[in-house]
């Protein structure tokens, strides 16, 4: 009875959002309030027989996801949780199998980077229903969703590029956008880039295309094709991993120049190395500090298993990395535990929303959450 009343109270607090039938969680978008760290604890899920174990269900080995894993592992170690990785190697069927195994072996907490969200959703709902913590990197369903304010993320990069075009390229530039418009959760970042570039009359968007794969190889192959029609490119924007591939193609073709502006999103280590050189085309990366949010999700997993109330959602705030601030960024990402322990530093990277715990787990998020939703 108490559990039922707690769930009803949580729904009223969420602004009257109704649960869909069949344990579907919150399917109608709601605007979450700020996370309340003082909210009273719930029961710990001890009766569910869950293991004190955290598993990262990882999609691929790009550096961004490796950073997530480093943060998760550090948090698990700090909180006494066993830690392992279920690596899917970009195979949706294998990821579904991993999640099915996790539901069977009573793992207490997972963090997942979904490859194909619709096909994975039924398995994740079973894990949630069993009482485990499920943290998702962007797509739901999950007890706690991690996202970035995607439009703002794209705008921060586009604003940096626009400033460079105005001040260094005389207001004129041939621009390539390497997008991921097929991923609805990431599409707003590219909308922001187009909106910003549209304000510059001297900009020509010579390519606006999604590489076949979101990795260096995809960026490399796409740029090689673009260069056949447009051999002189001034600006390339996209995720770091594909922009790094595009840089490799430009260098191979002898078309890389020091006055170009290549910029990406994710704060990939290789992009950081390029920026630190100071004399190459790579000028900026928008950090989504994956080790820091990974550490936070690991801490929330441990809190969940202790019966504490945790955030339903969390923003990782975009930071434009340049030569002037990279040293601070590298210090923070190398020691995410220190960032998490310092409220001011933590708030510069993370913003948390809503509250959920084991007793109110039927209010899990099952809609495309974004803090930017009106």
Q: How far apart are CA 336 and CA 289, in angstroms?
A: 9
- Average pLDDT of the segment spanning 133-146: 97
Q: Which two tokens stand for residue 58?
A: 């990882």
Q: Which two tokens stand for residue 262?
A: 């290549």
Asked whether the predicted pLDDT for residue 40 surpasses 90, the reply is no
pLDDT at 374: 74
Asked whether the predicted pLDDT for residue 315 surpasses 70, the reply is yes
pLDDT digits (tens, 9 = 90+) for 2-36: 444 444 334 433 433 333 333 899 999 999 999 99
Question: Are the beta carbons of 186 and 242 closer than 8 angstroms?
Answer: no
Q: How far apart are CA 348 and CA 289, in angstroms?
A: 11
Question: What angle do helix axes 63-79 and 290-305 make, rounded to 10 degrees?
Answer: 40
Instruction: Find where tokens 């298993």 sit.
Output: 305
Question: pLDDT-based confidence at 216, cuts 50/70/90?
Answer: very high
Q: In this structure, how many other beta carbons lie within 10 angstroms of the beta carbon of residue 37?
A: 12
- pTM metric for this prediction: 0.82
Helix, strand or coil for residue 133? strand
The CA-to-CA distance between both ends of the chain, in Å, stands at: 35
Question: Are the beta carbons of 42 and 360 closer than 8 angstroms?
Answer: yes
CA distances in angstroms from 174 to 3, 158, 201, 337, listed in the order given:
59, 14, 11, 42
Percent of the chain at pLDDT > 70 equals 94
Q: How far apart are CA 66 and CA 110, in angstroms?
A: 16
pLDDT at 5: 40
Percent of the chain at pLDDT > 90 equals 81
Question: pLDDT-based confidence at 143, cuts 50/70/90?
Answer: very high
Q: In b/e form, how buried is each residue of 98-112, taking b as 16+ CB within 10 angstroms?
A: bbeebbeeebbbbbb
Q: How far apart are CA 335 and CA 275, in angstroms?
A: 21
Question: pLDDT-based confidence at 84, cuts 50/70/90?
Answer: very high
pLDDT at 182: 73
Torsion angle of C-alpha atoms 38, 39, 43, 49, degrees rounded to 10? -80
pLDDT at 269: 86
pLDDT at 214: 82
Question: pLDDT-based confidence at 346, cuts 50/70/90?
Answer: very high
pLDDT at 15: 36
pLDDT digits (tens, 9 = 90+) for 259-303: 999 999 988 889 999 999 888 999 999 998 999 999 999 999 999
- Average pLDDT of the segment spanning 316-343: 92
Q: Tell me the chain's radius of gyration from C-alpha atoms.
A: 21
**Closest to 193 in 3D by CA, of 230, 170, 159:** 159
Q: In this structure, how many other beta carbons lie within 10 angstroms of the beta carbon of residue 3?
A: 14
Torsion angle of C-alpha atoms 336, 342, 344, 345, degrees rounded to 10? -20
- Average pLDDT of the segment spanning 335-345: 97
Question: pLDDT-based confidence at 184, cuts 50/70/90?
Answer: confident
Mean pLDDT across the chain: 91
Q: In this structure, how many other beta carbons lie within 10 angstroms of the beta carbon of residue 66?
A: 16
């Amino acid at each position: 009875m108490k559990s039922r009343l707690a769930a009803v109270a949580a729904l009223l607090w969420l602004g009257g959002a109704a649960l869909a039938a069949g344990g579907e969680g919150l399917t109608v978008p709601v605007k979450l309030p700020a996370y309340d760290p003082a909210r009273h604890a719930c029961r710990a899920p001890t009766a569910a027989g869950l293991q004190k174990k955290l598993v990262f269900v990882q999609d691929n080995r790009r550096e961004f996801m490796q950073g997530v894993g480093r943060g998760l592992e550090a948090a698990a170690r700090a909180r006494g949780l066993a830690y392992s990785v279920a690596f899917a190697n970009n195979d949706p069927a294998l990821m579904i199998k991993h999640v099915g195994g996790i539901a069977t072996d009573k793992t207490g907490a997972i963090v997942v980077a979904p490859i194909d969200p619709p096909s994975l959703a039924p398995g994740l709902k079973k894990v949630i229903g069993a009482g485990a913590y499920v943290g998702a990197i962007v797509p739901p369903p999950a007890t706690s969703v991690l996202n970035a304010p995607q439009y703002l993320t794209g705008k921060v990069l586009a604003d940096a590029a626009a400033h460079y075009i105005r001040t260094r390229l005389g207001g004129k530039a041939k621009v390539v956008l390497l997008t991921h418009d097929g991923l609805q959760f990431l599409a707003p970042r590219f909308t922001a880039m187009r909106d910003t570039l549209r304000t510059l009359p001297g900009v020509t968007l010579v390519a606006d295309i999604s590489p076949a794969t979101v990795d260096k190889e995809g960026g490399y192959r796409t740029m090689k094709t673009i260069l056949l029609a447009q051999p002189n490119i001034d600006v390339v924007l996209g995720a770091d991993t594909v922009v790094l591939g595009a840089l490799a193609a430009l260098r191979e073709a002898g078309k890389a120049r020091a006055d170009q502006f290549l910029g990406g999103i994710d704060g990939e280590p290789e992009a950081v190395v390029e920026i630190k050189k100071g004399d190459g085309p790579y000028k900026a990366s928008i950090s989504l500090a994956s080790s820091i949010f990974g550490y936070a999700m690991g801490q929330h997993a441990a809190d969940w298993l202790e019966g504490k109330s945790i955030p339903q959602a969390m923003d990782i705030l975009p930071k434009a990395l340049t030569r002037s601030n990279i040293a601070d960024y590298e210090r923070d990402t190398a020691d995410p535990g220190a960032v998490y322990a310092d409220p001011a530093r933590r708030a510069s990277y993370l913003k948390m929303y809503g509250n959920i715990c084991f007793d109110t787990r039927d209010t899990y998020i099952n809609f495309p959450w974004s803090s930017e939703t009106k």
